[in-house]
Amino acid sequence: MRSRTDYLFFETARRRELVNITARVAQTVAASGVQEGFCLVSAMHITSGVWVNDEEPGLKEDFMELLERLAPTADYRHHRTGEDNGDAHLKRTLTGHQAVLPVTKGRLDLGPWEQVFYAEFDGRRRKRVVVKVIGE
């Protein structure tokens, strides 16, 4: 069994942003030497997530608008702690915090239009994602 763990670091310019990380995840897969297995991509912060979908600007805008409708920027009970990011926690819950992706013949095995995104909902500070590849 082989494994490799890499960390990707982010500090987004905007509070909410989708960052395409497909190439960086694929680099970790290639460096792992794993031919058949799985790649876990997991956001390590409670206000960010991982989203697998199409790299299409309209879809990304629609997704962010959907999240804003479901978890609008508003006054949440969480803000009583002194934070102002209650919506970011909820958006992360809706997005999901990780994805498990297949590795086949030594490569990330995604569908024709699938891309991997780091989804940031409370940015402008340093955060990270763990990429863990395991297999034969």
* CATH label of the domain that carries residue 55: 2.60.120.460
Q: How many residues does the chain have?
A: 136
| pLDDT, one tens digit for every residue, the chain (136 residues) | 999 999 999 999 999 999 999 999 999 999 999 999 999 999 999 999 999 999 999 999 999 999 999 999 999 999 999 999 999 999 999 999 999 999 999 999 999 999 999 999 999 999 999 999 999 9
Domain interval for residue 105: 2-135
Domain total in the chain: 1
DSSP 14-50: SSSEEEE-HHHHHHHHHHHT-SEEEEEEEE-STTEEE
Cα distance between residue 77 and residue 113, in whole Å? 39
| pLDDT given at position 104 | 98
Q: How far apart are CA 116 and CA 25, in angstroms?
A: 8
Q: In angstroms, rounded to a whole number, what is the distance separating the alpha carbons of residues 37 and 5?
A: 14
